[in-house]
């Protein structure tokens, strides 16, 4: 089984497993936007939430960049389709990008974003109607 990781899942895996997360991440997938989302999350934790120092955030970012070098990076194929899906399932464009890509590529979506998982579940009928395949969603702790 191949996985598409969102930013929340990668951050949690790296925090929980450190270098050992490579065993899970190697050969799996992220989107081109994932590294930007991770950077934004680290900035938020540094500047707004004061959970990290700038040095700690940079150390985490360096580790994540190293790990993602062993992953497959996917670009969006159809941003209009992503926008339509984001409106249909009432989520951000970023989150819909993960949903659409997982469906189109037959990947299991790994997310620790509980709001996204809930929206996918709530709109499962719409998703199944639009796409032929089933969308499998798991949390990083399940790996």
* Same fold yes or no, 7-74 and 79-142: yes
Q: Which CATH architecture has domain 7-74?
A: 3-Layer(aba) Sandwich (3.40)
Secondary structure element (H or E) that encloses residue 110, with its range: strand 108-110
pLDDT on residue 132: 77
pLDDT on residue 129: 86
**pLDDT over 80 at 20, yes or no:** yes
Of 79, 75, 87, 97, the C-alpha closest to 6 is: 97
Average pLDDT score over residue span 51-64: 97
Q: Extract the tokens encoding 141.
A: 């702790």
Q: What is the mean pLDDT of the chain?
A: 96
**pLDDT over 80 at 57, yes or no:** yes
Residue 48: is it exposed, middle or buried by C-beta count within 10 angstroms (0-12/13-18/19+)? exposed
Determine the topology of domain 79-142 in CATH. Answer: Rossmann fold (3.40.50)
Summarize pLDDT for 85-138 with one digit per residue, the tens.
999 999 999 999 999 999 999 999 999 999 999 999 999 998 888 887 789 999
4 three-state secondary structure? strand
Of 30, 130, 26, the C-alpha closest to 75 is: 30
pLDDT on residue 32: 97
Domain spans in the chain, listed from the N-terminal domain onward? 7-74, 79-142
Q: Which residues contact 96 (CB under 8 A, 6 or more apart)?
A: 82, 83, 85, 86, 89
**Percentage of the chain modeled with pLDDT above 70:** 100
């Amino acid at each position: 089984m191949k996985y598409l990781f969102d930013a929340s899942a990668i951050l949690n895996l790296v925090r929980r497993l450190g270098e050992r997360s490579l065993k899970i991440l190697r050969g799996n997938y992220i989107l081109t936007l994932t590294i930007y989302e991770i950077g934004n999350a680290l900035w938020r934790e540094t500047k707004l939430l004061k959970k990290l120092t700038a040095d700690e955030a940079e150390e985490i970012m360096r580790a994540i960049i190293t790990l993602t070098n062993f992953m497959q990076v996917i670009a969006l194929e159809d941003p209009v389709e992503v926008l339509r899906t984001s409106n249909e399932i009432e989520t951000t464009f970023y989150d819909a990008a993960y949903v659409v890509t997982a469906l189109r590529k037959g990947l299991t979506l790994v997310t620790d974003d509980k709001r996204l998982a809930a929206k996918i579940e709530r709109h499962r009928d719409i998703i199944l109607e639009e796409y032929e395949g089933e969308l499998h969603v798991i949390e990083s702790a399940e790996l």
